[in-house]
Chain A
Amino acid sequence: MKIALCVKQVPDTNDIKWTENNTLQREGVESILNPFDAYAAEFALDIKDKLKNTEITVFTMGPNQAQDMLRKLLALGCDNAVLISDRKFAGADTYATGKTIAQAIKTLLPDFDLIICGQFAVDGDTAQTGPCIASFLDIAQVTYVKELVNIDNKSIEVTRELDDGTERVKVTYPVLLCKLQDDFEPSRPLINGIKEALKKEIRICDLNCLGLEPENVGLKGSPTYVSKAFRNISNHNAQKYELSTEESVKLLDEKIKSVEVKNA
């Protein structure tokens, strides 16, 4: 069983700082493994526990500093790691990101059975990259995956958590899965040990290695671009009252009454 696990390094959204001009301050912001991808990794490692001879290759596209995150995943029990990195990949939207990652998987792990992504990345929260990769490889996809029900060497059965309920599906390989968060914290021990992981080679893959043209990757290869970014400022006129309980109740009552309601 060959698994490609796609993970992304994201800025910690709980640690966002603003410059004076209301632009995002990028320096000094902590980078973390995308929280959803921690569950994707957990899912891949669960499969490895169940099926012998499972080999997990982690793919990430990003700057060199993402190596630390890859080492951690190796220490958790993933087998190989690939850093897809090139200056020319910078500024990629989900289309160009999907295309580049799909090409990397095609080049380095052509006989994969499963690709596992997180459902969303918390920085962009587009949930698009997974389906884009599946589309470029022209393979089946199952999004919003919650639980692993069954797995063998031909197919996998999972539940999906959707707007209107829970669906159970079965699919034969190859397939790409997008994994939702679990209800518990991922808590695997570093079985391989950091030392072992430090010894492992991380494969670095650039534009040449993928055989893509510069105009098909990064900002140039992206159909969308940000024309303007601005801070989200509320248009509510915040008024704060520190009153006695009685006065608070009166104020609350007035405000509720001032709303014209039809379903009361």
Chain B
Amino acid sequence: MPNGENSGILIYAQLTRENYIHTVFFELLDKSKELASKLGGVEINAVIFTTPNLINEFRESFQNMGLDKVYCFENDLFKNYSTEYYSKLIVNLVNYIKPEIFLIGATTQGRDLAPRISSALHTGLTADCTGLDINEKGLLAATRPTFGGELMATILCKTYPQMATVRPGVFRVNSVYDKKDTEFIFPQYSFEGLEDRVKILDFRNSVDSIINELDSAEIIVAGGMGLKNEQGFALLKDFAKSIGATVGATRAAVEAGLAPSSIQIGQTGKTVRPKLYIACGISGAIQHIVGMENSEHIIAINNDKNAPIFEIADTGIVGDFFEIIPKYLETKGE
């Protein structure tokens, strides 16, 4: 129950395997600034796990982010993420610093970690939010899609901290960072009684997902089953190249082996929000829509005028991809 004791926002700063701060952290930070000011200017803090001394490399970048405090857990063991160690140490930290809001990126790591922490803290967690706001009572109003995206629900939490996860790409990064005297705190901890029985044997990069170009693309052209075969996707790639776009795909196209799963867009793929999204041969199933509806402008090319994609496309072009795109490339080639 609200007790006035909890204050401030805590953000989990996930590191990638290459020791970069994950982009979702910056997105959460930006949102937190908005939330913090609605709460009357509360503190924004971060928690990070690194191998020893790495934090010195981050000091400078953290210094310019407008954070109040960064809690750093350092250990050689933290080279790899561990559900057991990270969750137990974060639970202790949260019990000590008592934030009112705790945000975690909904990466595969974040989705593994967050429910583990929230259960141990006996507090609530709202997964995969697409909107975060402060309501009139000063509580976190977390909005998320459910039922495959058909229904939106705004969820409140009766306990502290109010926890939420947000997928990468859902929030934008806009703000120019204000310099702040960020304090770096190295909490005392012990591993006593803790044991991680999960042993990592090996790891294989899926090469194209280390830096996924879809995250920063300004134009995305995405293909679906309407492209029919490899030739269709080859045509899509030519089209993408001619306008400097990045290629995406529907799950159906991925399952048909026409595109790698790293470029799947939608509920079980990536969330994107480019300036321009061109959907080619895509029917517009709700599970696809939830991953791209925040694009600024959507063009759809589909030869079925009743395709649901036309309900959300700003510019719906009823027509055959195999006629329009070759013609477009031909005109450009002149």
A141 is an interface residue with CB less than 8 A from chain B: yes
Contact with B along A90-113 (1 / 0, CB 8 A): 000111001100000000000000
Residue from B125, B147, B311, B331 within 8 A of A11 (CB atoms): B147
B210 is an interface residue with CB less than 8 A from chain A: yes
Residues 126-145 of A contacting B (Cβ, < 8 Å):
126-132, 134-136, 140-144
Would you call A241 and B116 a contact (CB within 8 A)?
no
Would you call B315 and A255 a contact (CB within 8 A)?
yes
Q: Which residues of B contact A (CB under 8 A)?
A: 16-17, 83-84, 87, 107-109, 111-112, 114-116, 118-120, 122-128, 135, 141, 145-159, 196-206, 209-210, 217-219, 243-244, 255, 267, 275-276, 278, 286, 289-290, 293, 296-299, 301, 305, 310-320, 323-324, 327-328, 331
For A225, list chain B residues within 8 Å (CB).
155-156, 158
Bound Cα distance from A222 to B87, whole angstroms: 21
Residue from B124, B147, B198, B289 within 8 A of A95 (CB atoms): B124
Q: A163-B107, A232-B149, A263-B219 are in contact. List 15 more A-B contacts (CB 8 A).
A: A24-B151, A123-B147, A125-B127, A132-B116, A140-B83, A140-B84, A165-B203, A166-B204, A170-B201, A225-B158, A226-B155, A232-B286, A238-B310, A241-B316, A252-B299
Closest residue on chain B to residue A183 by CB atoms: B255
A204 is an interface residue with CB less than 8 A from chain B: no
Residue from A140, A164, A231, A259 within 8 A of B210 (CB atoms): A164
Bound Cα distance from A132 to B324, whole angstroms: 51
Tell me the minimal C-beta distance from B244 to chain A in angstroms.
3
Would you call A223 and B157 a contact (CB within 8 A)?
yes
For A255, list chain B residues within 8 Å (CB).
276, 297, 299, 315
Number of residues on chain A facing chain B (CB within 8 A): 78
Residues 211-248 of A contacting B (Cβ, < 8 Å):
222-232, 234, 236-243, 245-246, 248
Residue from B154, B202, B311, B331 within 8 A of A227 (CB atoms): B154
For A263, list chain B residues within 8 Å (CB).
217-219, 244
Tell me the minimal C-beta distance from B215 to chain A in angstroms.
11
For B84, list chain A residues within 8 Å (CB).
140
Known contacts A140-B83, A231-B152, A248-B324; A95 and B109 CB within 8 A of each other = no
Bound Cα distance from A168 to B200, whole angstroms: 6
Bound Cα distance from A16 to B331, whole angstroms: 44
| Ranked 9 nearest A-B pairs via Cβ | A223-B124, A264-B244, A224-B124, A135-B119, A131-B115, A13-B148, A240-B316, A128-B115, A126-B127
Closest residue on chain A to residue B80 by CB atoms: A167
Tell me the minimal C-beta distance from A17 to chain B in angstroms.
10
Bound Cα distance from A249 to B319, whole angstroms: 10
Would you call A229 and B204 a contact (CB within 8 A)?
no
For A164, list chain B residues within 8 Å (CB).
16-17, 205-206, 209-210
Would you call A230 and B152 a contact (CB within 8 A)?
yes
Bound Cα distance from A253 to B331, whole angstroms: 10
For B267, list chain A residues within 8 Å (CB).
125
Bound Cα distance from A229 to B297, whole angstroms: 26
Residue from B127, B158, B275 within 8 A of A128 (CB atoms): B127
A175 is an interface residue with CB less than 8 A from chain B: yes
For A94, list chain B residues within 8 Å (CB).
115, 125, 127
Would you call B318 and A127 a contact (CB within 8 A)?
no
